[in-house]
Amino acid sequence: MSRFAAPIAEQVWDMKYRFKEADGSPVDRSVEDSWRRIARSLATVEQDADHWEEVFYGALEDFKFLPAGRITAGAGTERKVTLFNCFVMGTVPDSMAGIFDMLKEAALTMQQGGGIGYDFSTIRPRGADVKGVAADASGPLSFMDVWDAMCRTIMSAGSRRGAMMATMRCDHPDVEKFIEAKSDPARLRMFNMSVLVTDPFMEAVKADGPWELVFDGKVYQTLPARELWNKIMQATYDYAEPGVIFIDRINQANNLAYCETIAATNPCGEQPLPPYGACLLGSINLARLVAQPFQEGAKLDLAELDRLVRTAVRMMDNTVDASGFPLEAQAREAEAKRRIGLGVTGLADALLMVGQRYGSDEAAAQTEEWLRQIARSAYLASVDLAKEKGAFPLFDRDKYLASGTMQAMDEDVRAAVAEHGIRNALLTSIAPTGTISLYAGNVSSGIEPVFAYEYTRKVLQKDGSRTEEKVVDYAVQMWKDVKGDEPLPDYFVNAQTLAPADHVKMQAAAQKWVDSSISKTINCPEDIDFEAFKDVYMQAYETGCKGCTTYRPNDVTGSVLSVEDKKEEAKPEMPEEGGEVVYMAEPLDRPQALEGNTYKLKWPDSEHAIYITINDVVIGGHRRPFEVFINSKNMEHYAWTVALTRMISAVFRRGGDVSFVVEELKAVFDPRGGAWIKGKYIPSILAAIGGVIETHLIATGFMESEGLGLKTDPAANVVGLDTGAGGTSQNRGKACPSCGQYSLAMIEGCMTCTSCGHSKCG
């Protein structure tokens, strides 16, 4: 009998976490094999490895403890990948040589699968003097463009591109340019962006006072604080970025304030980290720990919760020793502080199972109490580990007890730390769990509300056909199993119907007992008033949150979840209107004559040019690519140009959104080095070919512009969302870059596909 609660869970396991050979043949024959692989790997650092392997297996079994994706996919595979999810890179020097040293470190980290964060506040503003070269500085935004291009090139471990977070202080002279950067739809697509907001700035906003933009002691500009605040708010209202990080609060609450200063976070914001800081993640699945769900007396099993948390802490502490690191500086930082980020998933489902409405005062109080229990168990487990294995190397008893979360910790916990020390400097964090939540049976992710009670998912089969399957929320399915056809009670709410203030209330309740931070998205209705929108951020600040991320669906950002469009509109019979996407069961027959273009590509240091011919077919009045021919007189190129010709042409003839071919080719880098062509760095000859194809697709109207994919959305029936009220949203967002389905959701600050589990943040 399958351990998976839903077909989507098994599919996510197979795609993301199942250990396979390079040729795709599975090593993990079952999910039990995956659990055994992880348990055995994390037990190898123990003296009694056999005993702890069984204990760890028991925690993993039935998806009770969910190590983050890097651990689940990488532990025990002996592949050169890091098991850490989160990295903040070193402080960016304000020099050309130092900046490009940092770029190299970022590339090495992303190659191994780590998401990275950077504070770009250390780079002098645009127009500032550059001493010794009689020139003006280009500013941090220009270097962020270089990082963005690098991220597009590097394929991270597990076939995911890396994710990046960029931060900038609210008093940097280029902060206004930083705020406006995402208004350009083609710029900085690989970055999440957040402004580091200080307490003095927030006080100036409330007092309507002046605010100085300063670098290296020089005041570049003075403006009203509210004016700058409104610019931040308007940008995130329109484009969902930048987010806001309350950086002073983060540093004040940090257990390690005595030995580190934080200025950046990982891509989803739940891990504020110092330079070269690293953190691994894992989540307790609360939905699996409710006894007698939806019945009288339903409650979370606190004894089981305590046992599970203690085991999870030990597993994560072992991961610090079992993991590799892209950089030696990251390894030293992790070993010195042994930071871990244990969090939860399935919170909203667990609340439903005990009869509480997410966002209510009762649910907020219950959330605070559950997370307090987790914090207590985690800290006491870490004290026990300190007795056995020693405290983290930078532990200073008096300073540690006087800082951060420890000041609010229960007295018995403080006394235990004072007597024995503690193994891990920080222990708790709420991470994005979109993919592992699907893997666990579509439980609600992190501390988010239930996203949708059920929706229809289209699954691509091996023969190219698509089948439909219904994906049901874990708690909703359990309700049906217990109550049959009985209607859902009024306390069932979801992300589409929840008031923004209720989101903030839940985030603030959770933050009280989380020593790092929380990845959470506050969904706002499209028609929310701008002043009410600003109030969401002020509420987050006033109630103790460490940051705030919102998502308001609009024409720029797309909808929260795309749905089937019931209205079919006639398409104009004009090729220049854009490339209609045609989903075909079999390839089209080749017409006798096709219209096309031939492009000459001259690669530096190559004796012969490459000629690329792209022929198009017109279907329904719309022009779309049909075949490619790549030719060169250089015989060293013969085999791969023929292979590329055949493969790309086969993809084009199958139809669909084939713009991913461009992105895949452009992401290929040559370890021997790329070349500069027309003032732009191209990482490989294959990337150059991808650029030629992209140019053609833009010229023919199939793609809108560089990196933006289709100019016209497919008129295909895709995901249908049951809103719980008999209606559906009519907004359609962007297609998933992995599976092509219109199923992207902004979940915990990261675009996540509800069809295949693809996440921008990994």
Specify if 497 maps to a domain: no
Q: Name the residue type at position 439.
A: Y
| Spatial CB neighbours of 676, under 8 Å, sequence gap ≥ 6 | 604, 682
Q: What is d(CA 566, CA 376) in angstroms, rounded to the nearest whole number?
A: 51
pLDDT at 478: 94
Q: At what angle do helices 638-654 and 685-699 cross, to 10 degrees?
A: 30
What is the Cα–Cα distance from 309 to 58, expressed in whole angstroms? 12
Residue 286 lies in a domain: no
Distance (Å, whole) CA 385 – CA 470: 45
Residue 270 known to be catalytic: yes
At residue 665, the 3 state secondary structure works out as: helix
Total number of domains in the chain: 1
Measured CA to CA, the distance from residue 745 to residue 558 in angstroms comes to: 9
The contacts found for 392-396 with CB under 8 angstroms, 24 or more apart, are: 392/336, 392/337, 392/338, 392/422, 392/423, 392/424, 392/425, 393/335, 393/336, 393/337, 394/256, 394/259, 394/336, 394/337, 394/425, 395/421, 395/422, 395/425, 396/258, 396/259
In a domain, 62, yes or no: no
The confidence score (pLDDT) of residue 368 equals: 97
Give dist(CA 129, CA 98) in Å, integer. Answer: 17
Q: Which amino acid is present at 319?
A: T
pTM: 0.77
Cα–Cα dist 382/426, whole Å: 10
Residues 72-84 have pLDDT tens digits of 999 999 887 889 8
- Closest of 58, 57, 61, 64 to residue 42, by C-alpha: 57
Q: Please give the Cα distance from 237 to 255 (Å, whole number).
A: 34
Torsion angle of C-alpha atoms 95, 96, 99, 100, degrees rounded to 10: -150
Q: Give me the catalytic one of 86, 151, 268, 761.
A: 268
What does the DSSP assignment read for 117-173? EEEGGGSPPTT-EETTTTEE---HHHHHHHHHHHHHHPEETTTEE--EEEEEETTST
Please answer whether residues 153 and 667 qualify as being in contact, where contact means their C-beta atoms are separated by less than 8 angstroms.
yes
Q: Cα separation of 758 and 434, whole Å? A: 9
Residue 86 has what pLDDT? 83
Instruction: For tokens 């024959």, name the residue.
Output: 29
Residue 673 inside a domain? The answer is: yes
Residue 527 and residue 447 in contact, taking contact as beta carbons nearer than 8 Å: no
Q: Rounded to whole angstroms, how far apart are CA atoms 319 and 322?
A: 5
595 neighbors 616 (Cβ within 8 angstroms): yes
- pLDDT computed for residue 456 by the predictor: 78
pLDDT at 661: 85
Q: Which amino acid is at 529?
A: D
* CA pair distance 48, 46, nearest whole angstrom: 5
Alpha-helix residue ranges (DSSP H) falling in 670-760? 685-699
Assess contact for 674 and 682: CB atoms under 8 A: yes
Q: Is residue 153 part of a domain?
A: no
Q: What is the model's pLDDT at position 107? A: 85
Furthest CA-CA distance within the chain = 84
Quick check: is 266 catalytic? Answer: yes
- Cα–Cα distances (Å) from 654 to 48, 148, 265, 626, 639, in that order, read 55, 31, 42, 9, 23
358 in the Ramachandran plot: left (φ > 0), alpha (ψ -120 to 50) or beta? beta
* Residues near 709 by beta carbon (within 8 Å), at least 6 away in sequence: 657, 659, 703, 734, 735, 737
At 355, list the tokens. Answer: 């009869």
- Which of 85, 254, 255, 266 does the annotation list as catalytic? 266
| Domain region containing 690 | 575-699
pLDDT value at residue 340: 97
Identify whether 646 is part of a domain.
Answer: yes
Does some domain include residue 650?
yes
Choosing from 105, 260, 270, 580, the catalytic residue is 270
From the CA atom positions of the chain, what is the Rg in Å? 26
The C-alpha torsion from 487 through 490 and 493 to 497, rounded to 10°, is: 110
- pLDDT in the model for residue 159: 43
What's the token pair of residue 502? 């209720």
Q: Is 339 helix (H, G, I), strand (E, B) or coil?
A: coil
Regions of the chain with pLDDT less than 70: 1, 132-135, 154-162, 458-466, 554-590, 605, 619-621, 654-657, 671, 679, 704-751, 754-762
* Contact criterion met (CB below 8 Å) for 72 and 56: no
pLDDT score for 560? 43
Burial class (CB within 10 angstroms; exposed 0-12, middle 13-18, buried 19+) of 58? middle
Task: Label the pairing between strands 278-285 and 65-67.
Answer: antiparallel
Residues 149, 281, 290, CA angle at the centre, nearest 5°? 135
Element (H, E) at 602: none
Backbone dihedral region for residue 438 (phi beyond 0: left; psi -120 to 50: alpha; all else: beta): alpha
Residue type, 709: G
